[in-house]
Structure 1
């Protein structure tokens, strides 16, 4: 009778035991990672084809977080715009109040109107040239450049400064009510950018350097837009060539160009002051409307942020359903692997201590 005895060399046994120890060590490391993080160490191995769902959710969550960051930045930008517009309204209101108190006659400090208007003009222009996060807030889509020329600074294209334009209009002087009406009409022509005879004087040629309201064909230019979420865009912002802002600049220019306290004829004075007050009042109404629109846009952005935050919670909950592990099962598995690894180490230690010399 033939007997077949399987033999395993001590080298082969040691090699197999070493492989078992290596595999158990890797498994123990993964189990420890899962206990520490609460997530699967290898979702592809654990979930198989279902791991694609987790990856898609991760991509959607990354997109949601990108939109959230963009919306928060936009919200801060709108806050800066609103603060600037309110500052402009405050600066102009002081001038308007003095103008109203001197509407009939220059009896209540009209001599300060010219200097007060000049100070307000400098402040308004500085505010309109404000930057946020590297962009000029009131330049429209051409946000790389400051939108407004300084009062006494010559435009490099036209060679004129806003002060030159106003001085040219006021050069004829105010001698009677008709001259006051004519001069006011000339200011209207310039600030509506409708002067075809001398277009260099126009507001959008000399005063303003941002995005024009219309293109060469007379069609409205695009306003600044932001994408709040997939499929939702918001047109927002105020430009320094919007009608309300232009009326403010026009009213201040009219006061700077002429010292109203020197107008001798009372009727002429009243006619001129009525045009100044109309321009400043219209500008204040336009600025208030701009503040209202900015406030509405802020509400839209806040609603978008809340909605994206809720969507993020849903994504994270679904991701957790794919990727999370049972902490008790992971801890038990880690304990079992520790026991297994300890036993393997003990076997390896005993085998290494065996020697033929101890038998002889």
Structure 2
């Protein structure tokens, strides 16, 4: 009869125990990491081919969050633009009301209308030159330049200020109805861009932003934002829009002449008619602009709600792949700790054995 005897050295046992302790320690560290973060430490190892789905969903969620962040910024920009227009409307309407009261003849408050119009121009210019995150909101795509020149500030290109242009056209003011008609017609040409004199153009000496038309006569692009992957919102409001041109024209007519100096009644009425008509058209246009901005705010708000709903669903789906069951991991940690304690105990006992123990 033969006997098969297998002998394992204490070195082999120690080596095995060290390897087991190392593996269990790494597993315990991984379990601790998962329990603290709530996510799988090795998603590829745990999920295998399904990890690709989780990565794709994570990319979609990051894209959704980028749109949400952009929409938050856009929402603030729209609010700033709407607030600016509302701020401008008050002083303009005050000038319009004063002009209407004095439309037929200079009466109550006529002496203050010129100064009031100049003050409104300063308010309008300063307000429409508002910037947000370093971008001038009413300059169109040319967002690095302030939208409007101040009344007495010369344009850097033409060397002409709005005040200088109006003074050259109006001089001491109209003396006859013919003068009033000629001056008002020339002022119209300044604001519609058809004046023959170089620099006597609203978009050259009053306004610094993106022109209404390009070199070929086609409308220039407006500021737009993509509020979702398949939805773009054109929201740009510019200081050269017709509403603002009309307001500035009406204020300029009143700011350039002291209406008390117009002696002829018919001339006075014609001059005031030109100012009131421009201001009334401009205030109505600004009201429409405010309404459009309010509508755009609603569009952005609805887009945000939709994206937040999508994000909630995506995060839930991602969680089913990436998140761990904390109770399961806690149980695994407890088991690993028990195994480690047993391994340490055996290792400690083996380390205390010597050849003398065999002879006993």
Which residue matches 1:7? 7
1:205-284, aligned counterparts within 5 Å?
Answer: 205-284=204-283
- Rounded to whole Å, the distance in 1 between the matches of 2:173 and 2:255 is 13
* Deviation readout 1:222-262 (Å, 9 max, x if unpaired): 00010111111100021000000001111111111111011
Which residue matches 1:44? 44
Q: Does 1:17 align with 2:17?
A: yes
- Rounded to whole Å, the distance in 2 between the matches of 1:205 and 1:32 is 68
What RMSD in Å do the two structures reach over aligned CA positions?
Answer: 1.2
- Rounded to whole Å, the distance in 1 between the matches of 2:91 and 2:40 is 61
Alpha-carbon shift at residue 172 of structure 1 (Å):
6.4
- Rounded to whole Å, the distance in 2 between the matches of 1:45 and 1:37 is 17
Q: Provide the secondary structure at the position in 1 that maps to 2:324.
A: coil
Which residue matches 2:133? 133
**8 Å contact kept, 2:43–2:322:** yes
Which residue matches 1:200? 199
Alpha-carbon shift at residue 39 of structure 1 (Å):
2.2
Alpha-carbon shift at residue 214 of structure 1 (Å):
0.3
Which residue matches 2:107? 107
Ranges in structure 2 where 5+ consecutive residues have no aligned partner: none
Aligned residues: 359
Which residue matches 2:310? 311
* Deviation readout 1:281-339 (Å, 9 max, x if unpaired): 11101111110111011001001111110010011010011122223222221111111
Alpha-carbon shift at residue 67 of structure 1 (Å):
0.7
Q: Does 1:116 align with 2:109?
A: no
TM norm structure 2: 0.97
Q: Provide the secondary structure at the position in 1 that maps to 2:225.
A: strand
Q: Does 1:65 align with 2:73?
A: no
Ranges in structure 1 where 5+ consecutive residues have no aligned partner: none
- Rounded to whole Å, the distance in 2 between the matches of 1:173 and 1:251 is 15
**8 Å contact kept, 2:254–2:275:** yes
Which residue matches 2:334? 335
Q: Provide the secondary structure at the position in 1 that maps to 2:199.
A: helix
**8 Å contact kept, 1:111–1:259:** yes
- Rounded to whole Å, the distance in 2 between the matches of 1:107 and 1:36 is 79
Segment drifting more, 101-110 vs 167-176: 167-176
Alpha-carbon shift at residue 3 of structure 1 (Å):
3.2
- Rounded to whole Å, the distance in 1 between the matches of 2:201 and 2:318 is 59
Q: Provide the secondary structure at the position in 2 that maps to 1:226.
A: strand
Segment drifting more, 228-237 vs 1-10: 1-10
Which residue matches 1:354? 353
* Deviation readout 1:179-228 (Å, 9 max, x if unpaired): 21221111111001111x21410001111110000001100000001011
Show structure 1 runs of 4+ deviating over 4 A.
none
- Rounded to whole Å, the distance in 2 between the matches of 1:82 and 1:328 is 52
Q: Provide the secondary structure at the position in 1 that maps to 2:221.
A: coil
- Rounded to whole Å, the distance in 2 between the matches of 1:309 and 1:183 is 57
- Rounded to whole Å, the distance in 1 between the matches of 2:38 and 2:154 is 66
TM norm structure 1: 0.97
Which residue matches 1:290? 289
1:69-218, aligned counterparts within 5 Å?
Answer: 69-171=69-171, 173-195=173-195, 197-218=196-217
* Deviation readout 1:152-203 (Å, 9 max, x if unpaired): 11112111111111001102631112221221111111001111x2141000
Alpha-carbon shift at residue 356 of structure 1 (Å):
2.4
**8 Å contact kept, 2:173–2:262:** no
Segment drifting more, 347-356 vs 237-246: 347-356
**8 Å contact kept, 1:78–1:237:** no
* Deviation readout 1:65-92 (Å, 9 max, x if unpaired): 1110000000000000000000010121
**8 Å contact kept, 2:191–2:249:** yes
